[in-house]
Structure 1
């Protein structure tokens, strides 16, 4: 029975959706024995023979030439030119050799990266500075996720006017979902399952709805975070009680269900993005991602390029693979990549030991409290006959050893709340969940099924020491509800994925930090707050964590900026968010990294923590056009075919022009330096001693005035003396709106150990505005 349970758990982990995982793999790795698998076929539309009237006819003709039985799953008109289909590897290879075929790429599986935030971000205090509701209600946020629970109070359309006239989308009917499920708030809902079903078989409609309906909760949470309506007296079991509202509370929501129980497949994601662009959204929010690959092989990057070209800002989660370096997802420079930070709110639950020592933890448990007296305490590793019994996995605990006791479990492998369910099933009365080195002191609250709290690694180690030294160990857990004003805040979440950028190190990622820990937002009525099948509770709001939660915060704030400045490009909006972000607390201390307890760096938070109110008036912006991004692709030495895959156009880089990645007009600087060593054989003394040579790297930037006329002066700071920084010119005078001025930054480096990093900051100021940019130095 144990081996069978472990097998089921393994399959769940393989196929399930986890808020704290980042995974991607081609379908061949997922189901290696299938004769056919799904491919996305990229076509060069300009090469269609004149004998065809429509591109779809040409696509079908090409497909039939290699397979009589193959059918197109989707045709794509916006994100790419082409289609998806099921083929054998040999058929795919044959298709790739035909005229007009740019590439035939295997489908990729992505996974989800899974109140008080408006107040924390200053949106309540400065309500008068936000765009008027009339203009804000014209902005449409498209959310690609697990669907939507339309009955959520956060989709109340009271006070909203007619649906924007430019909206071309629809409310797609399906299982448990009809046209009346949409309203003036939730103006569109679609679902895309062909890629999923082609791979894993028909959707089991007894477990999930083949419709836009959200049976998972993740999609409802992200969409209501971005643009949910104002809901009074919202909470989860009384925790985080107050007014819940999305960032763009007057904005409209369009949902595209592309994720299912088995994951999110690139064919469906691209179909969802294709429709979102066609429907007329202004912002696309995607809290999902996967492994790193070149932009011309990354479905999300290709789709985001098409959206950017049409003036749509694409906001994506950075991933939950932190604190490891090079762990980011969604790093294309035309995507706004969002990391996760904490709020100033917590849910304390204290542990008291029989030796009188107390430890602080967090919990969202809402059931019957434990008795005031101390109860027996046992370590799970001592209550199991298996080697990993300390993890409290299914059926690993011995009931006779845990009955009536509080059990200390270690975090890892299976879901945190599932560990508590295992303890409860074995007869335990409570659980203390201890972080290991992987999570350190990061505390994420959960709606446990029994009295339970999570403590940090240090507290967990001390509790284990007590258990090993006392012959009759006891403990109690006391729950203290909601506490606000927690400092320091924000702090970078340990799980938040980190730079450097593994694809293009000269582009600093993530771009920005936003709230992503213990976030209250709308929830599905299909499952309980823990998502476990044994959890029969139903809630209107839930509190969960992940960069999945930070992404829609930025999506919603971007919608507010678009409402206030409808003519701004996606690059200008992202610049405003980045150059006005903050990196220090009011005390002057730098934002901390929860993983280390030390000061965080731009590889952790990018430009800093988002500040919506300041972003409305940035003074200057670093704007970017489609041509700028194509020049960037030329600087990467992309071939004509590779550029066509990303940009959907024929473009040949000018061999007489010098392209440089450092010329991309990005609002941050990632300076990659090399230190060469001279062996002494040149014009030196001839002694053979090594002398270091300096490396010079230049970055050019252009600023656009979006404020009043004025003169901006530059200032610089750096943590290292090994790099000399100079800026020319040192001041920029703007006499009119939309006027542009160029400047050059020269970085001159001397010897530094290879593999080390350092950081600095550049800012322009006219005395009123501060236009800040982080600098990251990397020695290779």
Structure 2
């Protein structure tokens, strides 16, 4: 335990020292490398490890000045850091006992890390220009909140906004005094839950209050609008400063989810209350399982329509049912739908096999490290349960060994607990094909790590083929850098096409949702297992539930910067300024496949807050436009009245001809049957400082499609800030060629309007054909 907690401190000390030296390749061609060694393999001829390291360095080819050991390590890692040329680094990798040779990287002292990763700065951009969303109210519909956390301090905040009309419940375990200028309201909704279960909350020993006993709501609330907290971490991992996206925004808590789920009746009651209370943004990391219901039977869609009608931005998670197609939920066009991506921060925990091979994994294990001596390795399929179900492992085959467990079937942390109960010494959690190379860090009870499918396949093969397989796990703390590249799209992130309306692309954007640090409940431990008695201030978890509040907070910042903007305008700004390349300059990778992602997976792209502050043009929408959309997809006036109080709707007068004509910031085109041409119309508004701006279009046509935009130039003026354009999509491939789209899942491109300066208003284009694999799914 002590050794793991020391890791961040040691890295900090190294950072201070290393930064006095060149941190990149110097003029002599050398750079700093960290050499990880197996201390147990030190030859007996050396009196100490330091002497052994020095001998290794002296044995290297001296193409440049002699290499110099900078540090030796015994606690954070086992090994040393040294200046090497590329040739020397290659040579040292071949030395017996050397486990890995990793290029050094500059570390920074910060934690949730997403503000920095998103480019948010105190000195410029969206944060200062929005005054950190002061007075904006974010309604979080979730499992409640643990109000005593430092993330909910109201120090330095102005009085409660006069627009707030809500209240704070007074309950035995949640007195109203716990509300302050940060948590300005807290209520619980449980009647639907009680009715469905046939017993009162009291009978089930549950609390009627908004206190969070699950952790989820505290995590999402602090992500969206948590106050600044220094020295935040989980067992020393991700140590640094934590902030929510909208640091000064106020939080209104609506507890809608309980131990057995969240009921529509309670969700709608909470939305109703939130609208009446005067919230500006609703953050909802809840959704349907399986395919999304029709809009008219989707309580979240209906409630969100009412909120949008009153100017409230509704941000929802896309779901965690990826990587299958058609899995995105919360897909109504008036909802801001968010998928999940990775950060440039990892928690590496490497597997070293008995034959010397090393495979990278991730872990948040914080207990005593494994001994340097490798332990016997066994595959759980040979011990009673490949998925490591509790009670199914044969102790006689597991005791004292590292166990390989396949991902799936039960919770990841439950697998480690099952290994622990059976007497195992450690666990390697190996992905299967459906999870690919997606790595999610967990705070396991025993030394454990998760590896991707490729590594998992090789580790299993080794365990089955070697007569005496052995392994160990090395935990390397917190690492921030460009390898692996980021962002990448999480395998679990639900994706399109839109199951209900192909012409509306979903999800809308992606945001950080993998291994996110944020506040946690004091009721349960970080793994949510009954046997986990540890209590933590912060926890690191993953899901589109984590990406949603990031975007909710960004929406709050934009609401403060532009109080007169509609929810659609805020969504447009986030979508058209999103980016589509990672920090290596390559297009996003989809972790489910290891291949290039596409808009069906990541929507318009990854949110870019500072660019969203100045989008140039916006695609705006009003309630009447959504009504026209519902008319166009065949909803009767009677059915539409489920969404709006207006009962005098004439669908013949307001229809859009095609759902794709909704003034959406993205394009999804569907060629059905013999139809070879699709025409859409869009309207854009100039919101830039230059009133006489001129925008020209750049088209990247998807393969198999010819695109025409008319006009190709938009000339704005003081008197004309809104202009329209028409876009024609023409299919130019044969029916036989359509069948070959099975591997590409449609065709993708983009349309971008630029003023020749800083504004690039980009919309993704997705094209589907009747008969293609995506359409047929």
TM class, shorter-chain normalised?
Answer: 0.7 to 0.9
Alpha-carbon distance, 1:434 to partner = 0.8
Aligned to 1:374: 374
Say yes or no: does 1:224 pair with 2:222: yes
Q: Which structure 1 residue ranges, 4+ long, deviate > 6 Å from structure 2?
A: none
Alpha-carbon distance, 1:778 to partner = 0.3
Aligned to 1:725: 707
Alpha-carbon distance, 1:486 to partner = 3.5
Question: Counterparts in 2 of 1:293-372, with a 5 A limit?
Answer: 293-372=293-372
Say yes or no: does 1:413 pair with 2:396: no
8 Å contact kept, 1:131–1:564:
no
8 Å contact kept, 1:431–1:451:
yes
Aligned to 2:13: none
Cα displacement string for residues 347-375 of structure 1 (whole angstroms, at most 9, x for unaligned residues) = 00011111111111000000111111111
Say yes or no: does 1:753 pair with 2:738: yes
Q: Distance in 2 between matches of 1:224 and 1:583?
A: 27
TM-score between the two structures when normalised by the length of structure 2: 0.81
Long gaps (5+) in structure 2:
1-111, 771-777
Cα displacement string for residues 245-290 of structure 1 (whole angstroms, at most 9, x for unaligned residues) = 0000111111100000010000000000000000000000000100
Q: Distance in 2 between matches of 1:237 and 1:761?
A: 44
Q: Which moved more, 1:695-704 or 1:654-663?
A: 654-663
Q: Distance in 1 between matches of 2:202 and 2:356?
A: 52
8 Å contact kept, 1:643–1:651:
no
Alpha-carbon distance, 1:674 to partner = 2.6
Question: Counterparts in 2 of 1:346-495, with a 5 A limit?
Answer: 346-384=346-384, 389-487=385-483, 488-495=485-492
Question: Counterparts in 2 of 1:329-728, with a 5 A limit?
Answer: 329-384=329-384, 389-487=385-483, 488-585=485-582, 587-655=584-652, 659-660=656-657, 661-676=659-674, 695-707=676-688, 708-709=690-691, 710-720=693-703, 722-728=704-710
Aligned to 1:50: none
Aligned to 1:105: none
Q: Distance in 1 between matches of 2:359 and 2:607?
A: 32
Which of 125, 134, 137 aligns to 2:134? It is 137
Which of 125, 147, 152 aligns to 1:150? It is 147
Quickly say closer, same or farther: Cα 1:758–1:451, change in 2 above 3 A.
same
Secondary structure of the corresponding residue to residue 506 of structure 1: coil
8 Å contact kept, 1:133–1:250:
no
Q: Distance in 1 between matches of 2:434 and 2:725?
A: 43
Quickly say closer, same or farther: Cα 1:466–1:249, change in 2 above 3 A.
same
Q: Distance in 2 between matches of 1:169 and 1:346?
A: 41
Long gaps (5+) in structure 1:
1-114, 677-693
Q: Distance in 2 between matches of 1:657 and 1:616?
A: 32
Which of 107, 120, 125 aligns to 2:117? It is 120
Quickly say closer, same or farther: Cα 1:702–1:247, change in 2 above 3 A.
same
Q: Distance in 1 between matches of 2:654 and 2:273?
A: 37
8 Å contact kept, 2:125–2:610:
no
Cα displacement string for residues 158-181 of structure 1 (whole angstroms, at most 9, x for unaligned residues) = 000100001011111224111011
Cα displacement string for residues 576-625 of structure 1 (whole angstroms, at most 9, x for unaligned residues) = 00000001235542111111111110001100000000000001100000
Q: Distance in 2 between matches of 1:129 and 1:489?
A: 22
Secondary structure of the corresponding residue to residue 367 of structure 2: coil
Quickly say closer, same or farther: Cα 1:369–1:135, change in 2 above 3 A.
closer
Secondary structure of the corresponding residue to residue 596 of structure 2: coil
Q: Distance in 1 between matches of 2:320 and 2:352?
A: 32
Alpha-carbon distance, 1:718 to partner = 2.1
Q: Distance in 1 between matches of 2:365 and 2:601?
A: 31
TM-score between the two structures when normalised by the length of structure 1: 0.81
Q: Distance in 2 between matches of 1:251 and 1:418?
A: 37
Q: Distance in 1 between matches of 2:655 and 2:147?
A: 52
Quickly say closer, same or farther: Cα 1:697–1:256, change in 2 above 3 A.
same
Cα displacement string for residues 686-732 of structure 1 (whole angstroms, at most 9, x for unaligned residues) = xxxxxxxx611111000011112210001100230x21100010111
Aligned to 2:41: none
Q: Distance in 1 between matches of 2:685 and 2:387?
A: 55
Quickly say closer, same or farther: Cα 1:749–1:133, change in 2 above 3 A.
closer
Q: Distance in 2 between matches of 1:657 and 1:564?
A: 33
Q: Distance in 2 between matches of 1:773 and 1:309?
A: 25
8 Å contact kept, 1:706–1:738:
no
8 Å contact kept, 2:380–2:387:
yes
8 Å contact kept, 2:491–2:592:
yes
Alpha-carbon distance, 1:294 to partner = 1.3
Cα displacement string for residues 504-529 of structure 1 (whole angstroms, at most 9, x for unaligned residues) = 11001100010000000000000000
Aligned to 2:255: 257
Q: Distance in 2 between matches of 1:738 and 1:193?
A: 51
**Once superposed, what is the RMSD of the aligned Cα atoms?**
1.5
Secondary structure of the corresponding residue to residue 391 of structure 1: coil
8 Å contact kept, 1:135–1:564:
no
Say yes or no: does 1:775 pair with 2:765: yes
Say yes or no: does 1:765 pair with 2:761: no
Aligned to 2:103: none
